[in-house]
């Protein structure tokens, strides 16, 4: 089974290395700027999964030597109250990055809330200005999961120029920014989705497959071009088997069949998932350098 182990792209190990580099640069920033880089996370409501995720973000922020500002609001918080908080965080020089944990309660307008965040502090890369900068190839903050996926690809493959890539999924969180990032690396990119005709044939032509469609084990091993690199962004929980309380967590790719064919593949869990918080911290530190006018060497946090 050694050959299979060599195929596995270990996102957890890469994320650990990224956080170590962030910690070094965070200390250097503090010495130059006279303050720590600051990340504010806003949580509205009491969704258990979101609470765990936010707690993990806060813990890792502090461990990397940055300031963590947590704002936990009740589920019945009004739009006006939430927007007022974002305005205060935008004006706070101690806060370099702002993340509003999504999804929000249904009575709140997510798009309006996201648009209120200053693009200079938009560590999720979701504001219209951030997405526009990405589309134009201008410097800006990029969504965490796609950027983490790109980091894993470049770490495994090196130069991506000229490679054929297919992105399965067209969400604003992953699919669309992933396409822009791959175009920026001079890949030839095809956008596919659940309604693409002859999807298997489309996937079979690709050197790089990024699966972010949200359907458990949809992409089969027989669809994968031999030697292709597969990035599985999906996180899906299957129904529990008899006698078990929880079902298995699987990706959008049928891992067991795909690993037989792929040249490299991310597992689920342990692949792309660990990268998301690491890149969030990276974005916060990049924003801190820009906001404080402190130079950060290119590529040092990639």
Identify whether 200 is part of a domain. Answer: yes
CATH of the domain at 78: 3.40.50.10860
Which of 7, 36, 96, 101 is labelled catalytic?
101
pLDDT of residue 3: 66
Q: Is 130 annotated as a binding residue?
A: no
169: annotated binding-site residue?
Answer: yes
pLDDT at residue 48, as a whole number: 83
Domain count, the chain: 2
Q: CA distances (Å), 241 to each of 85, 249, 257, in order?
A: 44, 12, 21
Asked, for residue 279, whether it belongs to a domain, the answer is no
Q: Which of 7, 25, 36, 57 is catalytic?
A: 57
In a domain? residue 128:
no
Q: Do residues 270 and 178 both lie within one domain?
A: yes
Ligand-binding annotation for 171, yes or no, is yes
**Does residue 73 fall inside a structural domain?**
yes
CB atoms within 10 A of CB 245: 6
Q: Are residues 269 and 168 in the same domain?
A: yes
pLDDT at 1: 42
Host domain of residue 173: 144-274
- Catalytic residue from among 96, 122, 124, 232: 124
Q: Is the domain of 197 the same as that of 241?
A: yes
Assess whether 201 carries a catalytic annotation. Answer: no
- Cβ(164)–Cβ(202) below 8 Å: no
Report if residue 240 sits inside a domain. Answer: yes
Q: What is the pTM (predicted TM-score) of this model?
A: 0.94
235 is in an annotated binding site: yes
Q: What is the C-alpha to C-alpha distance for residues 31 and 276, in angstroms, rounded to an integer?
A: 27
pLDDT at 2: 44
193-212 in b/e form (b: 16+ CB < 10 A) is eeebeebeebbbebbbbbbb
pLDDT tens digits for range 39-65: 999 999 988 888 888 899 999 999 999
Q: What share of the chain is helix, strand, coil (3-state, %, to 5)?
A: 45, 15, 40
Please check whether residues 148 and 266 belong to one and the same domain: yes
Q: Tell me the average pLDDT of the chain.
A: 94
What is the phi/psi pair of residue 47, to 5°?
A: -60, 125
Q: Is 219 contained in some domain?
A: yes
């Amino acid at each position: 089974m050694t050959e299979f182990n060599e195929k596995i792209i270990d996102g957890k190990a890469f994320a650990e290395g990224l956080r170590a580099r962030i910690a070094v640069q965070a200390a250097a920033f503090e010495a130059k700027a006279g303050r720590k880089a600051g990340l504010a996370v806003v949580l509205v409501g009491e969704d258990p999964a979101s609470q765990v995720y936010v707690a993990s973000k806060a813990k890792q922020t502090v461990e990397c030597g940055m300031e963590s500002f947590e704002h936990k609001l009740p589920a019945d918080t009004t739009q006006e109250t939430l927007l007022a908080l974002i305005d205060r965080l935008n004006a706070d020089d101690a806060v370099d990055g702002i993340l509003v944990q999504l999804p929000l309660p249904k009575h709140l307008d997510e798009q309006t809330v996201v648009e209120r965040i200053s693009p200079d502090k938009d560590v999720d890369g979701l504001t219209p200005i951030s997405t526009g900068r990405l589309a134009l190839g201008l410097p800006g903050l990029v969504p965490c999961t796609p950027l983490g996926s790109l980091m894993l690809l470049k770490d495994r493959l090196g130069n991506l120029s000229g490679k054929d890539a297919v992105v399965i999924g067209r969400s604003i969180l992953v699919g669309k920014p992933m396409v822009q990032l791959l175009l920026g690396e001079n890949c030839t990119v095809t956008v596919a989705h659940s309604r693409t005709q002859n999807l298997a044939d489309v996937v079979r032509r690709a050197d790089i497959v990024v699966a972010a469609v949200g359907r458990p084990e949809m992409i089969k091993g027989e669809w994968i071009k031999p030697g292709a690199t597969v990035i599985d962004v999906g996180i899906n929980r299957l129904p529990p088997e008899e006698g078990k309380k929880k079902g298995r967590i699987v990706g959008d790719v049928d891992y067991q069949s795909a690993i037989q064919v792929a040249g490299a593949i991310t597992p689920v869990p342990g692949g792309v998932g660990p990268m998301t918080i690491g890149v969030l911290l990276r974005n916060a530190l990049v924003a801190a350098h820009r906001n404080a006018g402190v130079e950060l060497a290119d590529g040092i946090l990639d």
